[in-house]
Amino acid sequence: MFRTWIGIALLGIGLMAAPAVSAQDGMSRKKQEKTLAKKAKDDKKQKARQERDDRKRHLSIQDKATRKRLKRNTKRADRHGSDAHRDGFFRRTFGW
């Protein structure tokens, strides 16, 4: 009987003390959101930088003729959009 009263008392004290301790730990929701937003922004910036460096390295590996061809085709793609391109009249007619 005495043991059950001690167990109940300890359980009650533990339940009352637990929320008070956990309420002081951690950071607020606003601070968490701000931290996550900053991390996402940094990750996005890092990914863009890495992509740019990869593209630059890829171009530096190519020879001059390949770089010129890539530049020419990129310009043509930018002019005509992302649809399948159609060669010009003379190129279609005479195959230049």
Strands, DSSP E only, in the chain? none
Most confident of 21-25, 69-73, 81-85: 69-73
- In-domain check, residue 23: no
Is a pLDDT exceeding 90 seen at residue 67? yes
Tens of pLDDT, residues 24-53: 568 899 999 999 999 999 999 999 999 999
**Mean pLDDT for all residues in the chain:** 85
Q: What percent of the chain has pLDDT over 90?
A: 51
Supply the pLDDT for residue 1: 67
Is a pLDDT exceeding 60 seen at residue 22? no
* Higher local confidence (pLDDT), 30 or 4: 30
Q: Domain of residue 53: give its range.
A: 28-62
- In-domain check, residue 50: yes
25-47 burial code (b ≥16 CB/10 A, e <16) = eeeeeeeeeeeeeeeeeeeeeee
Residues in Cβ contact with 67 at an 8 Å cutoff, skipping those fewer than 6 apart: 59
- In-domain check, residue 47: yes
CA distance 72 to 66: 10
- In-domain check, residue 56: yes
Residues in Cβ contact with 90 at an 8 Å cutoff, skipping those fewer than 6 apart: 96
pTM confidence score: 0.47
- In-domain check, residue 78: no
CA distance 13 to 47: 51
- In-domain check, residue 52: yes
- In-domain check, residue 85: no
Instruction: State how many domains the chain has.
Output: 1
